Amino acid sequence: MGKILVTGGAGYIGSHTCVDLLNSGYEVIVLDNLENSSKESLKRVESITGKKIDFISGDVRDKNILNKVFKENSIDSVIHFAGYKAVGESTEFPLKYYENNVGGTISLLEVMSDYKIKNIVFSSSATVYGDPETVPISEDFPLKPYNPYGKTKRMVEMILEDIYESDNSWNIGLLRYFNPVGAHKSGLIGEDPKGIPNNLTPYITQVAVGKLEKLSVFGNDYPTKDGTGVRDFIHVNDLASGHVKALEKINKNPGLFICNLGTGRGYSVLEVLSAFEKACKKDIDYSFEKRRPGDIAQCYADTNFAESFLGWKAQYSIEDMAEDAWRWQQKNPDGYNKD
pLDDT band with cut points at 50, 70 and 90 for residue 338: low
Q: Give CA–CA dist 234/136, Å, rounded.
A: 15
- Bridge partners of 78? 5, 120
- 42 versus 1: the higher-pLDDT residue is 42
pLDDT band with cut points at 50, 70 and 90 for residue 1: low
Greatest alpha-carbon span in the chain? 56
pLDDT band with cut points at 50, 70 and 90 for residue 292: confident
Residue 55: closest CA among 67, 36, 74, 69? 69
Q: Give CA–CA dist 37/14, Å, rounded.
A: 10
Residue 188: closest CA among 88, 76, 49? 49
Is residue 115 annotated as part of the catalytic site, yes or no? no
Per-residue pLDDT of 312-323, as tens digits, reads 999 999 999 999
Per-residue pLDDT of 118-150, as tens digits, reads 999 999 999 999 989 899 999 999 999 989 999
- The angle subtended at Cα 306 by Cα 79 and Cα 20, nearest 5°, is 40
| CATH number corresponding to 3-183+233-263+301-316 | 3.40.50.720
Predicted confidence at residue 198, as pLDDT, reads 81
Tell me what the pLDDT averaged over the chain comes to: 96
Q: Give CA–CA dist 45/15, Å, rounded.
A: 7
Predicted confidence at residue 223, as pLDDT, reads 94
Query: Domain segments of the chain: what residues?
Result: 3-183+233-263+301-316
Q: Give CA–CA dist 327/273, Å, rounded.
A: 16
Contact in structure between 214 and 286 (CB atoms under 8 Å): yes
Predicted confidence at residue 37, as pLDDT, reads 95
- Bridge partners of 75? 3
Q: pLDDT at residue 84 above 50?
A: yes
Q: How many residues does the chain have?
A: 339
Question: Of these residues, 26, 97, 129, 149, which one is catalytic?
Answer: 149
The 3-state DSSP composition of the chain as helix, strand, coil percent (nearest 5) reads 40, 20, 40
Predicted confidence at residue 271, as pLDDT, reads 97
Q: Give CA–CA dist 65/88, Å, rounded.
A: 30
Q: Give CA–CA dist 22/52, Å, rounded.
A: 8
pTM: 0.96
Per-residue pLDDT of 61-72, as tens digits, reads 999 999 999 999
Predicted confidence at residue 339, as pLDDT, reads 44
Q: Give CA–CA dist 245/163, Å, rounded.
A: 22
Average pLDDT of the segment spanning 106-110: 98
Lowest mean pLDDT, pick from 30-34, 155-159, 208-212, 278-282? 208-212
